[in-house]
Structure 1
Amino acid sequence: MTVAEPRLTLERRLLREHTTLIACDEVGRGSLAGPVAVGAVMIDAPRSRKRVPQGLRDSKLVPEMRRADVAARAVSWVAASAVGWASSVEIDEIGIMRALGLATIRALADLRAHGVVPEEAIVVLDGNYDYITPAGATGLTVRPVIKADRDCASAAAASVIAKVARDALMTDLHDELPAYQWARNKGYASPEHRDAIREHGISPHHRASWSLTGPSTLF
């Protein structure tokens, strides 16, 4: 099966109307444990005319052994990149959608610290819902785009950068609590992860408000 390659068609069109474009995508939304992460990348018109990095895809379509190399190429390609986080405790306290917005706001704040002005950009958000504005962001022009991480090279870059960062964190947490096998499942609902929760209970890194011991599902 041929996998469609992300392009820069939308980015180039939007950059005729805006000086910069920020693309955002989340990872970890369906995980049972660990934080949610949102990648954010900024490109401008000159970057949009460069060749898309080799192998760049939505992170779910990049083999795990290749993701770090693809993410490194993506970081070099974009003008700036950042990853924002919201913890499992925050997810329990405010819900996953508000937590996604909070993580995005933090990613945008990191970009701002590197000289990016989000209010001057068009913010392309993967999905069909603007979860940034309800979380308290103001002055942004947000454009949700369904399947942006598949079709738009900038969103694919945000996706793979965030995925590599979050997977590294979950691997580190595995060393702290190896029973849950997070180095393999990255906190998602694999059968071994469900079984470990039943045997050992939940850890401080689990999303306690979620149904953690139901049927095994990989998201």
Structure 2
Amino acid sequence: MTVVEPRLTLERRLLREHPLVIACDEVGRGALAGPVAVGAAVVDARDARRRVPAGLRDSKLVPEHRRADVAARAASWVSASAVGWASSTEIDEVGIMRALGNAALRALAELRGAGVRAEDCIVILDGNYDYISAAGGSGLNVRPVIKADRDCASAAAASVIAKVARDELMGDLHHGQPHYQWARNKGYASPEHRDAIRSRGISVHHRSSWSIADAPTLF
């Protein structure tokens, strides 16, 4: 399989018209347990002239044992970064797409602490649906880009930063619920995770609307 290395082609083009580019990407969308997280990475003209960190890829393409190192170098490369969260309870209450939008807005709000006003930037959002504006992100210039996490270095940075943050959180949650094996499966529907749900039921960290309603097909 040929691995596509992310570039800065789109970012450099957008930076001709905008002072900053913010790239957003989500992790944890398909998990049965734990929150979703949306990473946000800020790139300016100076960053776009620098070499992309070695090994930076969409987080799904970075080997697990290398992700923390790649994420740390990605965070040092971009001007600023943040991770926004939406809990499993929130996902049950408002649905996954609204929860993603809420998490993204929280990441963008966190960037304000670094002096980044999202309203002054253009936001690259991985995917084909603008869940940020749909969640109430008025005044934002959001551009959905299919496979942005694969092709755009800024989105790959957002992806791996969020992935490492969420994996660490799931590792922490594992200590309180070790039978679900979250340290290994990160809340996704692995065989041991499904078996534990069958035998023990769901925890407070599970997305009950998924883990129960979808049980006939998932388990």
Asked if structure 2 preserves the Cα contact closer than 8 Å seen for 1:35 and 1:88, the reply is yes
Equivalent residue, structure 2, for 1:191: 191
Shift of 1:113: 1.3
For the 8 Å contact 1:191–1:216, the answer to whether it is kept is: no
Q: Distance in 2 between matches of 1:45 and 1:158?
A: 17
The amino acid across from 2:191 in the alignment is P
2:164 matched to which residue of 1?
Answer: 164
Number of residues of Structure 1 aligned to a counterpart in Structure 2: 217
Cα distance in 1, alignment partners of residues 199 and 14 from structure 2:
51
| Identity over aligned pairs, percent | 77
Which one has a larger percent helix, Structure 1 or Structure 2? Answer: 2
**Residue 44 (structure 1) shift:** 0.6
* Corresponding position of 2:83: 83
SS at match of 1:167: helix
Aligned AA (1:163): K
Hey, which bits of structure 1, 4+ residues long, moved more than 3 A? Answer: 211-217
- How far the C-alpha of 1:2 sits from its partner, in A, is 2.6
Cα distance in 2 between the residues matched to 1:14 and 1:29: 28
Identify unmatched segments of 5+ residues in structure 2.
none
Cα RMSD (Å) of the superposition? Answer: 1.1
Q: Distance in 2 between matches of 1:214 and 1:85?
A: 29
Asked if 1 retains the 8 angstrom alpha-carbon contact of 2:11 and 2:48, the reply is yes
Cα distance in 2 between the residues matched to 1:4 and 1:175: 36
Contact 1:6 1:150 in 2 (8 A): yes
| 8 Å contact kept, 1:190–1:216 | no
Question: TM-score, structure 1 length as denominator?
Answer: 0.97
Aligned residue in 1 for 2:7: 7
Structure 1, unpaired ranges of 5+: none
TM superposition score normalised by structure 2:
0.97
2:80 equivalent to 1:70 = no
Deviations 1:102-160 (A, max 9, x none): 00000000001111010010000000000001111111000000000000000000000
Match of 1:117 in 2: 117
Secondary structure of the 2:38 match is strand
State the AA in 2 paired with 1:21.
Answer: V
Shift of 1:214: 4.4
